[in-house]
Each structure stands twice: as C-alpha cells, then as structure tokens.
Homo-oligomer: A and B are copies of this chain.
C-alpha cells in the first residue's frame, strides 16, 4: 500500500521561549494521519537562518513531504524564506504576482518591510486555496505555511487534498489492570503480526479503563486479523470494550 512520509518543521523563538504554545503541529499531525500520511518527525527550531537551512536540507531528502510553520512575516525575525532557499541551494527572488498585490494593497506605503512579503525561494509555486488571498508556497517537496494558527489552518485546508494517500485502519481495545500485565500478550501478537503498528497507552484516573491498546495498519484485513489474535489471547476480564 502506498505510504507517504512527512516532517513538520515549526520555526519560532516564541515557542522555544515558552511565550506561545505550538498548536500547529498537533493540528497538522491529526490532519495528515487522516489523509494516510505518516509523520516521521516534528521539530521546533529557532528563527535562525543556518538552522532552518540545515534542517530543510536534511529533511527534504529524508521524507516525501516537508511542512514549515512560521517565520514568513515582514520583520527581522522572519527568515524562513531565506532559510528554505539556502537549504535547497536556491536564491531568494521577489515574486512578481506577490509584489503586484502588495503594491496594490499598500500604495505608497509599499516599503522594504512590506515588499519582503513578496520574497520566495527561486522557483517556488504559489498555491491558492482557503479563504485568504495570500497563497501558501511550494518549492520542491517543501510547503511553507504561515505560523499564525488561524492562517496555518486556512492555508492547509486549501491545499490538503493533494496529500491524500491510502488510509490507516485502526482498532482499539480498552483494558483494565496494569500495563505490565498486558505486555506478554502484546508481544505474542506482535510476533505473529510483525508489520502491525501496536501501541499501548496507560491512562491515569479513568474510572472506565487503565490501558488503551491501538492496532493500526494500512491493510484493513491485516489489522482485523491481528485484532482477533490479540482478543483471543487476552483474559476476558481484562477487556472493557473495543472499537
């Protein structure tokens, strides 16, 4: 089955200094999972040209799709465009369509700071969609999105259809008792189904269950067989309910 991999690079000193909590990566991770895309890594890095360039250089070769969040505004600390360009060995150019829109919008106030918003890595495509007039950017396998959560979501909604892959299928077992009492059964099922994505997550202070066991695969029949295998192994009094 087709699998596509992704990395999410969140760029922003405000997150590393604890002034703003990153919500974009959690939103994007959930959306990509629904689309059948495997997120391999999430990174939060500073507004630093060299660090952005190095991270982009590494991940654009390591995964199928790279998303960046943040650092695309008009001020001194917005260096994502220059960082992505450097990471790909490209120059930064002013995009004619963006420049025209900014000049139309700003009139005689179109100074260097405003025109900085027209800069893109050379060869970048403008991706329209969503409710904002300003597009997202794509260059090679890198998608450059704004950091403000409302804008990030709007731009992603506008382009997400292109990322759809074969979906994941998940079954869930809610269990009672300590996680260590389940480990033996999980290991046996994993030996029989080595390609299964099997997760075991303890939950504190829940009156209904103590461990949530998830079984996942892109192959629905495989995950169903693994689910039946594990259910047959588990002591019946352990099982609270299943999904």
Contact = CB atoms under 8 A, between A and B. Distances in A.
A42 interface: yes
Interface in A70-89: 73-77
Q: Is the interface of A mostly helix, strand, loop or mixed?
A: mixed
Interface stretch (A10-18, A133-141, A155-163, A233-241): A10-18
Contact of A199 (B19, B180, B200, B214): B19
Interface in A189-233: 190, 197-202, 204-205, 214, 216
Interface string A1-37: 0000000000001111111111001100111111000
A205 B154 CA distance: 15
Nearest to A17: B33
Contacts of A113: 180-181, 183-184
Interface string A164-184: 000010000000000111111
A153 to B, nearest CB: 12
Contacts of A30: 18
Interface residues of A, number: 63
11 contacts: A13-B199, A17-B197, A17-B216, A18-B29, A18-B30, A20-B201, A73-B200, A74-B179, A75-B183, A76-B200, A113-B183
A151 B76 CA distance: 39
B39 A204 contact: no
Contacts of A93: none
A126 interface: no
Contacts of A17: 29, 33, 38-39, 168, 197, 199, 216
- Stoichiometry, copies per complex: 2
A234 to B, nearest CB: 14
Given A17-B216, A22-B26, A148-B204, A43 B46 contact: no
A150 interface: yes
B40 A46 contact: yes
A101 interface: no
Contacts of A33: 17-19
